[in-house]
């Protein structure tokens, strides 16, 4: 699916609301630079929230393979772009996901797709972290899952406290990752080559 082409129902109505927003901000929506802005913003918002119409569980089960491998699988430095539900401003960073298979593995790109689907909804970083972990745990039923997200929030950079370099880190884990030794192994592997935002 190309998110730039396939738009959801309600696009015209969404654009009409953005037209009213422009007026309420004191702008003239008829001036040349703004004439197409309401529809552009409506399309952008549908792309940025496309995760509402996608099923992350199906993404994982569409590429499910029986495999006896039972050591840690890590997909790190997954780009994350989301919208904070409090101010609808972007937050962005990296997600690091690990799971320990229990008879089944999934395609590596599917882990990144799960991150993408949940991040393309109005979010808070804490819930996003938990949703990714829960989806993988419930769908693959592995021995354990751990998710870490490191992100910068435009609502802290552009407004409010205006702290441009603050990074928020969240984590959630299940199963084997409840053991400190397993979490430490994951963290050591991340520190080896993981890049900063």
Four-CA torsion 13, 18, 24, 29, nearest 10 degrees:
-110
Query: Is residue 135 among the annotated active site residues?
Result: no
32: which 2 tokens?
Answer: 């040349």
Which one of the listed residues 17, 86, 126, 138 is annotated catalytic? Answer: 86
Instruction: Tell me whether strands 144-153 and 168-175 are parallel, antiparallel or unpaired.
Output: antiparallel
Query: Is residue 120 among the annotated active site residues?
Result: no
Which one of the listed residues 54, 57, 130, 155 is annotated catalytic? Answer: 155
Which one of the listed residues 96, 135, 137, 153 is annotated catalytic? Answer: 153
Helix (H, G, I), strand (E, B) or coil at 4: coil
Query: Is residue 125 among the annotated active site residues?
Result: yes
Asked if residue 46 lies in contact with residue 4, where contact means CB atoms within 8 angstroms, the answer is no
Query: Is residue 96 among the annotated active site residues?
Result: no
Query: Is residue 17 among the annotated active site residues?
Result: no
Which one of the listed residues 85, 164, 179, 184 is annotated catalytic? Answer: 85
Distance in angstroms (rounded) separating the CA atoms of residues 172 and 127: 10
Distance in angstroms (rounded) separating the CA atoms of residues 52 and 94: 21
Which one of the listed residues 27, 54, 57, 87 is annotated catalytic? Answer: 87
Percent helix, percent strand, percent coil in the chain, to nearest 5: 45, 25, 30
Across 125-167, the runs of DSSP E, i.e. the strands, are 144-153
Helix (H, G, I), strand (E, B) or coil at 179: coil
Residues with catalytic annotation?
A: 84-87, 125, 153, 155
């Amino acid at each position: 699916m190309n998110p730039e082409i396939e738009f959801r129902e309600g696009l015209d109505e969404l654009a009409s609301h953005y037209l009213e927003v422009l007026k309420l901000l004191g702008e003239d929506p008829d001036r040349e630079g703004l004439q197409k802005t309401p529809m552009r913003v409506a399309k952008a918002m549908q792309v940025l929230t496309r995760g509402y119409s996608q099923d992350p569980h199906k993404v994982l089960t569409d590429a499910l393979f029986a495999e006896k491998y039972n050591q840690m699988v890590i997909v790190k430095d997954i780009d994350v772009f989301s919208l904070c539900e409090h101010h609808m401003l972007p937050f962005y960073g990296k997600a690091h996901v690990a799971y320990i298979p229990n008879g089944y593995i999934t395609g590596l790109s599917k882990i990144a797709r799960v991150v993408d689907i949940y991040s393309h909804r109005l979010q808070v970083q804490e819930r996003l972290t938990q949703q990714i972990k829960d989806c993988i745990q419930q769908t693959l039923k592995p021995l354990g899952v751990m998710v870490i997200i490191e992100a910068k929030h435009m609502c802290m950079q552009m407004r409010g406290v205006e702290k441009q370099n603050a990074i928020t880190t969240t984590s959630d884990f299940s199963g084997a990752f409840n053991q400190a030794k397993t979490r430490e192994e994951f963290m050591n592997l991340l520190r080896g080559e993981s890049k900063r935002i």
